[in-house]
Structure 1
Amino acid sequence: MNIFYESLELLKKDRVTTDNFIFKLHYKFTVFFLVISAAMSGLPQLFGSAIHCTTSELDLEKSGQIGYFELYCWIHSKFILPETSVFTNHKIGVDIAYPGIGPYTTKDKAKSIKYYEFVVFFLLLQALLFYIPRYIWRMWESNRMEMLLRNLDLPIDNTDKRKTEIKLVLNHLEDYRGENKVYVSVYFICELLNCLNVLFQAYIVNVFLGYEFTTYGSHVAQFLYQDPEERLDPMARVFPKQTKCTFHAYGSSGSIQRRDIFCLLPLNNVNEKIYVFMWFWFVVLFSLSLLAVTYRLIFFFSTAVRRTSLGARARLVSDKQINIVSQKCEAGDLFLLILLAKNMDPVVFRELINNLTSRFYGSELPEIQMVSDQSFTIFD
């Protein structure tokens, strides 16, 4: 339960923002989804049974040995028979009893279900991997933005104290002007890690599910639009609810006997939906992450993009001042200013830019008239 509550903490709004919405999708929404999915898949194992097995041999049922065979099949590989199922247009109830279930010989090609007992741990591993870029950025950033903003949430009418704090921020910006390349570069690396992480996770999930994940979502989409009489269910192939398990034992005469055991896998009813959503979410998340990386590369080299980005965040600042700051500051400096704009009151940020442009020219520019904060209730 602690993991559940900690995942809820991720969804809370950060006191200080040091990244963008797409970055948050990785370490907030995706991590939350994976932790909740792990809980949905894991709780039935704690309060119920993750596998139910039966056999046609009545002596085993009556003797109570079926519990032993359930444990055996949980530990060892379960399998289905793709060649004797609806995957080859066999009809349930006519040709076969259930998808993937049928008479088995050693010559038949079996598909093992090896992932079943490890889904919970794998989902938690995925959540950890999605949080790593955020952790790297958080450690490198080292609360720099929070320290710059520590006293800038003062009321508008506290003029003297606010001007003192703005002066400290201005001194920091001036002292480090042109030296913030590393700051924005590390952020870009973390954005790139986010993008690459989605690809890496798609690969390891594909391996984990027996190389069925790559086309899983597209096959499910096709399945929904096909004729019910003709369609083949890909979820029944990747996440079968009923499987076979073979147990070998010595008979009374010392000969080896093979016993066919049929097992229900109730967790696959949840798993199939988790991974359908994951497939489509990975497509969306990778597309957005790729756009973020592309944008950041353009941000490095285009003054026009940097000017537009700052202007979008500083709506109360004049175009003339935006142009001055964009020309005087490099990409790292503008990135820092944009983060400040995200976290500061728009009126205070306008005062900061006014003073910054004055410093660039070595003398004070005409002061921009301050208005009552009641005129800016939309920014509260």
Structure 2
Amino acid sequence: MMFKAISSIKVKVELKPVVDNLVFRLHYRYTYTIYMVSMLLCTIYDIIGDKISCMTGIDSDAYNDVVSNFCFIMGTFTVDRLHGVKIGAEAPHPGVGPQQPGDNVTFHTYYQWVPFVLFIQGVMFYAPHWLWKSREGGLFKQVIQDLSIRDYLGSDLRNYFGREERYAALSKYIYHHMDNHRDWAYSFFFCEFLNLGVVIGTLFLTDWFLGDEFLAYGVKVFGMIGMDPENRTDPMSYVFPRMVKCTFKSFGASGTIQVRDVMCLIATNIINEKIFVFLWVWLVLLTTVTSIYLAYRLLLIFVPYLRRLRLQMLVKTEMKHDVATVMKQASLSDWFLIYNLGMNMEMSVFSEFIHYFARELSNSTDTLPVDEKESMNL
């Protein structure tokens, strides 16, 4: 069992040590929360009012309820020709008006699925974190033990006077398990890149869900802000129309089929249009930040010199030569473990540990036979 080397250290966690970073948390904590809140907001009209109301011209509440429910379930539509025309003169509302032969129409059936799509996408953003925690299995928490930030001193000074015992246990563990944390480190790197895949996939999934209108949605919305309100086409009213048309067929008194063309108000789209504008901005920013960070991560993976510089930033100036000693024998996975130890320790504590660990590595290497020492330097 790989934890045996540090089993002598008593676990006491007051501040939870973490391996992930701010960019990782932007996905599973903040974006997940945003999607869950958005899911609740888009269902608010189910609680305080009607999600859709259709005007049939018939004074019968039962008939109007049937028509409204039918149009919500089966879908509504707008006439493409009537988008961009002068409202009040050529059409009462954007996309709403008499349909002529040959006119193209756009059907809107997505709004009943919006809460489900938002929930699924929120879970997608949480999935990489869940996968990482299941793969990590509490390894880092067990490794750092009482050397984490608040656990170092606490109210018990024995933690301070007994620190060399903890350094020895941690150094022994890392030395005897060097390059054995490859799966642990690579799993984290995979989940980081999976975050980027999730956010890009969410952009295209949402675009498909909204009829190929989402990728350019934010650009169109912000582009029309400075335009004349009477001569502009609101992209929000095109993607999320508030007034739509619906065709309802029923039997008349004589048994003949009656076709009624009705106008419907979709109240939920008043909230949906704002939600998706915010989601567009957030996803674009998140994609940009994640891409830049992963470019930085790739540099750390493929350029050992940058890994050493990054580790030197976590120690005192006089300990930088000890970092160089450690990095001569540390693989990528070893560096990742040691680097996260430094991120969860105070600088003075981590500097002492690096000095102790470098000394242990030097002593262990000096006692090796010549052929083994040469093989380690390859």
TM-score, normalising length from structure 1? Answer: 0.86
Find 1:155's aligned residue among 150, 153, 156. 153
CA contact (8 A) 2:79 2:104 kept: yes
Partner of 2:75: 77
Partner of 1:369: none
Alignment of 1:289-368 (within 5 A): 289-315=290-316, 318-362=319-363
Q: Is the deviation greater in 259-268 or in 62-71?
A: 62-71
Partner of 1:100: 95
Secondary structure of 1:112's aligned partner: strand
RMSD over aligned CA atoms reads: 2.1
Identity across aligned pairs (percent)? 30
CA contact (8 A) 2:75 2:246 kept: yes
* 1:82 Cα offset (Å): 1.9
Secondary structure of 1:283's aligned partner: helix
CA deviations over 1:190-236 (Å, ceiling 9, x no partner): 11111111111111111111111121111112112334343221111
Secondary structure of 1:150's aligned partner: helix
- Return the alpha-carbon distance in structure 2 between the equivalents of residues 68 and 317 of structure 1: 79
- Return the alpha-carbon distance in structure 2 between the equivalents of residues 258 and 145 of structure 1: 68
CA deviations over 1:223-269 (Å, ceiling 9, x no partner): 12334343221111001111111101122233221112221111111
* 1:107 Cα offset (Å): 3.7
* 1:317 Cα offset (Å): 6.2
Structure 2 segments unaligned to the other structure (5+ residues): 1-13, 366-378
- Is 1:30 the counterpart of 2:31? The answer is yes
- Is 1:122 the counterpart of 2:117? The answer is yes
CA contact (8 A) 2:77 2:246 kept: yes
- Return the alpha-carbon distance in structure 1 between the equivalents of residues 70 and 82 of structure 2: 24
CA contact (8 A) 1:303 1:327 kept: no
Cα 1:107–1:297, aligned 2, differ >3 Å: closer, same or farther? Answer: same
* 1:100 Cα offset (Å): 1.1
Partner of 1:253: 254
Find 1:61's aligned residue among 56, 59, 62. 59
AA aligned to 1:284 is L
Secondary structure of 1:177's aligned partner: coil
- Return the alpha-carbon distance in structure 2 between the equivalents of residues 327 and 149 of structure 1: 22
* 1:332 Cα offset (Å): 0.9
AA aligned to 2:105 is A
Cα 1:130–1:97, aligned 2, differ >3 Å: closer, same or farther? Answer: same
- Return the alpha-carbon distance in structure 1 between the equivalents of residues 32 and 46 of structure 2: 22
* 1:106 Cα offset (Å): 6.0
Aligned structure 1 segments of 4 or more residues deviating by more than 6 angstroms:
none
AA aligned to 2:70 is Y
* 1:325 Cα offset (Å): 2.1
- Return the alpha-carbon distance in structure 2 between the equivalents of residues 175 and 299 of structure 1: 24
* 1:99 Cα offset (Å): 0.8
* 1:186 Cα offset (Å): 1.2
Secondary structure of 1:42's aligned partner: coil
Q: Higher relative CO (CA 8 A, sep ≥ 6), structure 1 or 2? A: 2
Partner of 2:203: 202
- Return the alpha-carbon distance in structure 2 between the equivalents of residues 286 and 63 of structure 1: 48
Cα 1:199–1:327, aligned 2, differ >3 Å: closer, same or farther? Answer: same
* 1:165 Cα offset (Å): 2.3
CA contact (8 A) 2:319 2:354 kept: no
Partner of 1:262: 263
AA aligned to 2:322 is Q
Secondary structure of 1:362's aligned partner: helix
TM-score, normalising length from structure 2? Answer: 0.86
- Return the alpha-carbon distance in structure 2 between the equivalents of residues 337 and 316 of structure 1: 17
AA aligned to 2:234 is D
Cα 1:186–1:259, aligned 2, differ >3 Å: closer, same or farther? Answer: same
Q: Is the deviation greater in 351-360 or in 14-23?
A: 14-23
- Return the alpha-carbon distance in structure 1 between the equivalents of residues 353 and 101 of structure 2: 77
* 1:178 Cα offset (Å): 2.3
Structure 1 segments unaligned to the other structure (5+ residues): 1-12, 365-380
- Return the alpha-carbon distance in structure 2 between the equivalents of residues 122 and 209 of structure 1: 11
* 1:129 Cα offset (Å): 0.4
AA aligned to 1:83 is R
Partner of 2:188: 187
- Return the alpha-carbon distance in structure 2 between the equivalents of residues 200 and 14 of structure 1: 34
Cα 1:316–1:265, aligned 2, differ >3 Å: closer, same or farther? Answer: farther
AA aligned to 2:81 is E
